[in-house]
């Protein structure tokens, strides 16, 4: 089912920011918190007060079209006396929805806000920017995990609310609770946690809700993510309630989406008094009716507001209007001040400024990498200009490949040449993808081969399959293992080994980790776009393999509790590959070579093999599969966690959710079975027959004794050649029925499930946030929300999120902004991953990571590793789990986890 989204979503554009390149000012100078069993561990980054006055803001926080043009100029428009742009300081409380607010404010304000973590600056820093530099017009305090009563959760926000009496402030969720708490209100547990569910809202018609309808059936429905609330009875006299729920019950998304979110009602119907740029009705009662939940407050004398609900959610109606109203409140507030004061509020985004603690950390921020030396600068300039580096600079600036000096690898800047041939409608004539793979790559146990397999192509879910193996002059295998993962003090980095086509292997240590080195490698490739003109797909050669879940430590997480027995990342550099277009049955063969190579032996050989195939040839499975040579009995799988232990972990998750530590926790476990030596390609062929999937994959890293048989239905993230990012998270799973009538009933049951809708909505908002960190303001949108898709064994609820990548970020920035996929973690992501690490008993390894490609032209497509059999050193393992939310039933969650293992586990049992 498709839903049309109300106007609060980010699909609208504002004329005066069309084409605006937002900047991600969020500097990762932090050590995330972890509260387990009420123990808080958090280090707050500080700067000495002596240095604070010297710290001024970075010019890279300002979009380049604004740089310099407003410095030192009066901001007020001469005629309307309105601010040309509004400069917001956005405080991030380690939340996973902050960049949804960032996207909204970027459009509404005409300028992206500056994002600062709540422990990133000292009070002296804030005072300097707010009062000495007059650098901001208002402040927005984000949602976040935890409680304002815990200093580690709220950071500097309480002091800002106390001290910044003369600056407009809007607090959302945790920020709203902080506004109440700092003035003496009590923050208590709600009667029930509400996450990803909606409520209808009444309000008092104040300026924050100007022209927004109010009350039951008005069309004003909002999304709530909270376990704690402000006790309305404890509100001090200086805090005024401005919004509350119309009833005690929250609503599911499906039940409420009968309105288009618009209404002719407006605040004009109220008789109002003006106060602080706001309005409130005459005769208004300062008490919230019993049983209703306080949803908004304002300060009686300060321009401070709080909202318990999330105006930035994709399903909140009139959310954008609320942010617009806050901008207008800000404008009116500064207009009413003495002219002499307004005149001196300067716009200070001058050159040569710098953010505190940013030196040496900007490389971690998408679009703001700090180049460490001249060689890196040369690399960056060479990439932008399309020129090769001077020979003397190639090795020093290359990353792990230059250090290894591997023969026949792409050392230094390489100009690549792509050659390809197309065979119309050939795939069907030769027996399809299975026959093609077996004939071209299935010999010798399919050693060192790959197959990104769109084995489920109905309803145009996926179109292309990519396959290949060892062979070309540029081929290599890159294997990466994190170092000291189990050590809480580990600062990252790890060991990489690179094997070339001749079998020579060199190992070294990567101090900056795998993803940074992969970025440097991709930056060294130079190519002519004309080489792939006419090709309908986005992979033309490059890296193909997997990123394990533990690489989350390269994406913002402080540490891994559990060490993986398998490599944390493993990739082939694929220079020869075959592509099948399943829509048209076309076959493409491609060879990627260095610039001056003229011969194409692999293309000739592949063409001969393709035409030697006959569609009528029936291949007995016995010809292609070696029966298991087993040292172990074919007994069932053993689970890492018993049913009782798993259910206890679910109950712990529910307690964390009740305490406000998380909205959703994706708890997982693994089942294992010793299978000895078997033909793993045969196992994969059996799995794809029984459980076809659009993002399936086969990877065989023979030297690691590692084979991956993946039947994933879920895309993590794709970046195409037009710069469009797409995520397709799955949340909500139900078994297929045994009859057509039962199957339709189960499908409808999933579609109408309040719990599954809440799960899905939370992850959609999380992915909007992740894409919002690296996409143009206004471009992130949700074309499909909560569609139900049916596969061989299950129905699933799937949403699609898209956005336009900013010009100043690259492919690796995009992956780091969103990895691991939110559907496998929960929200808020950082806190949720920390909690899950404390609960789960082993590393997830490859499970929950991503399989896919990074093309040499900087496109990529990655799946979520679920429904997957990992065969490593004679053992098969299958990971599974589910999202735990406040509505979860522990017994049902356990049953859903088992359901997700059934198809791959059954395939193993049948094959062995």
Active centre residues (catalytic): 173, 310, 312
Three-state secondary structure readout of 254-320: HHHCCCCCCCCCCHHHCCEEEECCEEEECCCCCCCCCCCCEEEEEECCCCEEEECCECCCCCCCCHH
248 contacts 229 by C-beta, under 8 angstroms: no
Three-state secondary structure readout of 503-559: CCEEEEEECCCHHHHHHHHHHCEECCHHHHCCCCCCCCCEEEEEECHHHHHHCCCCC
CA dist., res. 328 & res. 335, Å (int): 10
CA dist., res. 313 & res. 334, Å (int): 29
Token pair in block for residue 61: 């926080």
Find the farthest-apart pair of alpha carbons in the chain and give their distance in angstroms, rounded.
88
Token pair in block for residue 633: 């009995």
Cα of 291 vs its chain's centroid, Å: 37
How long a stretch of residues is the chain?
912
759 contacts 663 by C-beta, under 8 angstroms: no
CA dist., res. 150 & res. 160, Å (int): 16
Cα of 311 vs its chain's centroid, Å: 20
Token pair in block for residue 79: 């005629």
Alpha-carbon distances, residue 4 vs 199, 314, 754, 781, 798 (angstroms): 19, 11, 19, 11, 15
E strands, 470-512, are: 476-482, 494-500, 505-510
CA dist., res. 568 & res. 865, Å (int): 13
CA dist., res. 846 & res. 879, Å (int): 9
E strands, 791-888, are: 794-804, 826-827, 850-855, 860-863, 868-872, 875-884
444 contacts 462 by C-beta, under 8 angstroms: no
CA dist., res. 649 & res. 836, Å (int): 9
Residue 829 neighbours by CB under 8 Å, 6+ apart: 96, 766, 822
Strands 31-36 and 494-500: unpaired
Q: What spatial distance separates the first Cα and last Cα of the chain, rounded to whole Å?
A: 40
DSSP character string of 313-355: STT-TTHHHHHHHHHHHHHHHHHHS-HHHHHT------TT---
Strands 638-639 and 525-526: unpaired
Calculate the dihedral angle through the C-alpha atoms of 154, 156, 161, 162, rounding to the nearest 10 degrees: 120
């Amino acid at each position: 089912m498709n839903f049309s989204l109300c106007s609060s979503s980010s699909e609208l554009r504002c004329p005066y920011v069309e084409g605006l390149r937002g900047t991600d000012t969020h500097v990762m100078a932090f050590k995330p918190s972890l509260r387990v069993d009420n123990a808080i561990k958090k280090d707050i980054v500080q700067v000495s007060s002596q240095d604070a006055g010297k710290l001024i803001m970075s010019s890279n926080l300002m979009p380049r079209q604004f740089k310099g043009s407003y410095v030192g100029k009066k901001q007020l428009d001469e005629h309307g006396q309105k601010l040309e742009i509004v400069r917001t300081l956005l405080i991030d409380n380690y939340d996973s929805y902050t960049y949804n607010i960032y996207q909204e404010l970027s459009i509404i304000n005409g300028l992206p806000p500056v994002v600062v973590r709540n422990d990133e600056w000292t009070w002296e820093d804030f005072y300097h920017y707010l009062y000495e530099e007059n650098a901001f017009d208002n402040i927005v305090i984000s949602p976040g995990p935890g409680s304002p009563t815990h200093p580690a959760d709220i950071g500097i926000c309480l002091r800002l609310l106390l001290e910044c009496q003369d600056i407009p402030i809007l607090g959302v969720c945790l920020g709203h609770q902080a506004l109440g708490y700092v003035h003496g209100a009590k923050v208590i547990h709600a009667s029930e946690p509400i996450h990803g569910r909606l409520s209808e809202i009444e309000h008092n018609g104040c300026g924050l809700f100007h022209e927004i309808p109010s009350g039951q059936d008005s069309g004003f429905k909002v999304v709530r993510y909270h376990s704690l609330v402000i006790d309305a009875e404890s509100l001090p006299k200086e805090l005024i309630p401005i919004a509350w729920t119309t009833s005690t019950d929250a609503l599911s998304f499906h039940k409420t989406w009968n309105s288009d979110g618009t209404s002719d009602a407006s605040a004009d119907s109220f008789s109002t008094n003006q106060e602080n740029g706001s309005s409130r009705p005459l005769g208004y009662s300062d008490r919230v009716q019993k049983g209703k939940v306080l949803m908004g407050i304002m300060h009686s004398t300060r321009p401070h507001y709080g909202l318990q609900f999330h105006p930035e959610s994709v399903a909140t109606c009139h959310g954008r209007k609320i942010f617009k109203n806050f901008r207008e409140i800000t404008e009116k507030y500064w207009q009413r001040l003495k002219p002499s004061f307004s005149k001196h509020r300067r716009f200070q985004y001058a050159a040569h400024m710098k953010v505190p603690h940013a030196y040496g950390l900007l490389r971690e921020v998408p679009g703001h990498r700090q180049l460490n030396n001249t060689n890196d600068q040369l690399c960056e300039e060479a990439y932008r200009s399309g020129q090769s580096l001077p020979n003397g600079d190639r090795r020093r600036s290359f990353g792990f490949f230059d250090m290894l000096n591997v023969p026949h690898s792409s050392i230094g800047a390489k100009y690549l040449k792509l050659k390809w041939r197309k065979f119309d409608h050939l795939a069907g004539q030769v027996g399809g993808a299975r026959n093609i793979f077996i004939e071209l790559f299935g010999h010798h146990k399919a050693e060192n081969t790959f197959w990104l397999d769109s084995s489920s192509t109905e309803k145009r879910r996926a179109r292309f399959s990519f396959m290949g193996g060892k062979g070309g002059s540029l081929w290599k295998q890159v294997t990466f293992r994190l170092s000291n993962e189990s050590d809480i003090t580990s600062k990252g980095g790890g060991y990489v080994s690179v094997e070339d086509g001749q079998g020579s292997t060199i190992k070294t240590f990567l101090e900056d980790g795998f993803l940074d080195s992969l970025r440097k490698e991709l930056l060294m490739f130079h190519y002519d776009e004309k080489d792939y003109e006419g090709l309908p797909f986005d992979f033309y050669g490059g890296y193909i393999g997997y990123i394990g879940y533990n690489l989350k430590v390269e994406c913002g997480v402080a540490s891994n509790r559990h060490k993986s027995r398998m490599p944390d990342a493993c990739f082939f550099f694929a220079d020869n590959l075959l592509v099948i277009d399943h829509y048209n049955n076309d076959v493409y063969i491609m060879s990627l070579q260095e610039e001056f190579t003229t011969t194409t032996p692999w293309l000739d050989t592949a063409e001969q093999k393709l035409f030697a195939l006959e569609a009528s040839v029936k291949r007995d499975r016995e010809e292609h599969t070696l029966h298991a040579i087993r040292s172990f009995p074919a007994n069932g799988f053993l689970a890492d966690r018993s049913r009782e232990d798993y259910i206890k972990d679910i109950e712990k998750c529910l307690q964390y959710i009740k305490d406000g530590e998380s909205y959703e926790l994706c708890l997982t476990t693994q089942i294992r079975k010793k299978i000895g030596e078997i033909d793993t390609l045969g196992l994969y062929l059996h799995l794809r027959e029984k459980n076809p999937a659009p993002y399936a994959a086969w990877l065989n890293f023979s030297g690691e004794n590692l084979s991956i048989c993946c039947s994933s239905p879920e895309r993590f993230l794709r970046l195409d050649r037009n710069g469009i990012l797409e995520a397709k998270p799955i949340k909500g799973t139900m078994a297929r029925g045994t009859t057509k009538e039962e199957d339709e009933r189960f499908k409808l049951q999933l579609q109408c499930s309040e719990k599954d809708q809440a799960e899905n909505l939370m992850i959609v908002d999380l992915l909007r946030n992740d894409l919002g960190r690296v996409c143009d303001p206004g471009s992130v949108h949700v074309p499909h929300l909560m569609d139900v898709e049916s596969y061989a064994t299950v129905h699933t609820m799937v949403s699609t999120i898209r956005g336009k990548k900013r010009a100043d970020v690259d492919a690796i920035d995009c992956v780091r902004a969103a990895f691991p996929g939110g559907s496998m973690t929960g929200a808020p992501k950082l806190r949720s991953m920390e909690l899950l690490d404390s609960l789960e008993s082993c590393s997830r390894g490859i499970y929950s990571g991503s399989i896919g490609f990074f093309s040499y032209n900087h496109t990529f497509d990655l799946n979520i590793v679920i429904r997957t059999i990992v065969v490593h050193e004679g053992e098969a393992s299958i990971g599974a789990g589910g999202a735990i939310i406040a509505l979860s039933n522990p017994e049902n969650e356990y049953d859903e986890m088992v359901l997700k293992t059934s198809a791959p586990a059954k395939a193993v049992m049948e094959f062995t």
